[in-house]
Structure 1
């Protein structure tokens, strides 16, 4: 099930919550460590500098493909134009059939450049149309310093991103359950094609849940990875980093040692009650609509401010009616807003067939 979180704001990056610029020394030209739930930047260096990104591009390719509506079991007949692509390859043969699922695993685990071209051509009718969808998705995710020119990440003019933008993409990928499962897979076989994940952190770092590697001569080594411990999920991105495995481990260690996950509100959690008139029930529970998941550092204080748009409810009121919000602050800086909604239906005491027993049995039935 897709997990829903409260929207968190860029205010996290200002005032008392400025991201640490030099908490961990790395070999990367640019890097960022981000909390996946909130988007809070915990550590960064040149995070908004545009650079070539190589095969971590394929995270966007996989995400757009999975959102295209195609069934992963569909059989794809390989067009001759999709074969013979330079670099990492599945060595696809013109005319062979292979499932869309196998192609996606092939581009994510073995980093097959031909698989990325085949996925793009199949899902959108042409590679060019698919690349257009990639750029539309980038805009939707707020990747303001990114532009895609192809689906595989081979060096091409106009193909670039930033460490920060790729972390935003990593966030989105973690919310796609099928993609999350694929990225965490160490090895899988399709029709005698063995696909082993290039991401060594899956074996080397406790809690790593995958993502994607990349390399071209122009970009250097690029890596997006994610790790999860004690309810805290972190996304790490390094661009042009010859020491990426060790750097990601060090950045994750810093994140998990310095910050903790805190959930001040959970979906459905009552935060108070409102009186109701013209109802068989005198009060209605008010609950949080979504989870609020925060990344909180040592010594940081979390506070909540509740605002209601109604003082009294007038029945009938459906369950899930919005009646206010909670503003959550960390050290006085606003970082989340969570809508408050009615936690149960408030029946009109004059409605036909809505005597007390009728309402009671309806409530018991859920």
Structure 2
């Protein structure tokens, strides 16, 4: 039996075990929920859905496997930078040490100056790598101090299966689990700036005095029927297509983590299936 199937089966059996303590109508609902959970054909190799109010795991698929998380890393970078309470209006200069310019955006060339607040938006909304690198480089004490603060943040959030070696998500050594990523999302949701930025479909910012339109890398944000309060995607050859978000569906607020899907389209289809299951199934 594959690990993902076994994890789904275990979660379904956990629900079924509750039937012994429930009246017949409630027991029937639990059985139905378990059956729906087991039948949900998500493409992502690792998945977790948690009820935010109760902390109950609603769906899971190989959620404790340690895998690369790509740019979901940037949620941790944003929290570390915001914890330092730095001036959001301070101008940061992009340099070669911030990595190769993005081929997708071409916004942050060498020598470009942006405010720290704009760099945060660039890192979180279109997932601009150079912006995240600049935020870490200009941390008080430099990159070494940022790295120390990042490791301290991992410990403070009790992320026992998370290892981050850099602030961007370029490295496949930046690894975590769906379970730990859900903890990262819960922590990030307590930062109003992160929740506000990542729940926007698009935003305009000034880069070198010119207005630039940024688009959220999660195309579901702002879509009809979607109520997303926080979102961060990630994508790389090693990590596949990843998504972490908080959303409302079926009358409840949930955290959804999808890791290692086969592209953004399949990732979006997984999210849509999860939303539909939540809307029709009472766990």
Offset of residue 169 of structure 1: 0.7
Q: Deviations over 1:103-140 (max 9, x none)?
A: 11101111111111001111243334323322321222
Q: Secondary structure at the match of 2:244?
A: strand
Report if the CA contact (8 A) 2:70-2:172 is conserved: no
Offset of residue 172 of structure 1: 1.1
Structure 1: gaps spanning 5 or more residues: 1-12, 260-296, 298-366
Offset of residue 182 of structure 1: 0.6
Report if the CA contact (8 A) 2:47-2:258 is conserved: yes
Q: How does 1:155-304 map to 2 (within 5 A)?
A: 155-157=171-173, 159-191=174-206, 192-204=211-223, 205-229=225-249, 232-242=252-262, 243-259=266-282, 297=283
Q: What TM-score comes out, normalization by structure 1 length?
A: 0.62
Is the strand fraction higher in 1 or 2? 1
Q: Deviations over 1:73-108 (max 9, x none)?
A: 222233442253566555423443211111111011
Report if the CA contact (8 A) 1:83-1:91 is conserved: no
Whole-Å Cα distance in 2 between the matches of residues 214 and 198 of structure 1?
Answer: 9
Aligned to 1:137: 153
Is the helix fraction higher in 1 or 2? 2
Q: 1:42 to 1:215 in 2, by over 3 A?
A: same
Moved more, 168-177 or 77-86: 77-86
Whole-Å Cα distance in 2 between the matches of residues 120 and 255 of structure 1?
Answer: 38
Aligned to 1:75: 91
Structure 2: gaps spanning 5 or more residues: 1-13, 20-29
| Cα root mean square deviation, aligned | 2.6
Q: 1:88 to 1:152 in 2, by over 3 A?
A: farther
Whole-Å Cα distance in 1 between the matches of residues 155 and 280 of structure 2?
Answer: 33
Count of aligned pairs between the two proteins: 247
Q: What TM-score comes out, normalization by structure 2 length?
A: 0.78
Offset of residue 27 of structure 1: 0.8
Aligned to 1:61: 77
Indicate the structure whose relative CO is greater, using CA pairs within 8 Å and at least 6 residues apart. Answer: 2
Q: Work out which of the two has the higher radius of gyration on C-alpha atoms and give 1 or 2.
A: 1
Q: Secondary structure at the match of 1:203?
A: coil
Q: Deviations over 1:181-230 (max 9, x none)?
A: 01111111222222111111113342123411111111111111221257
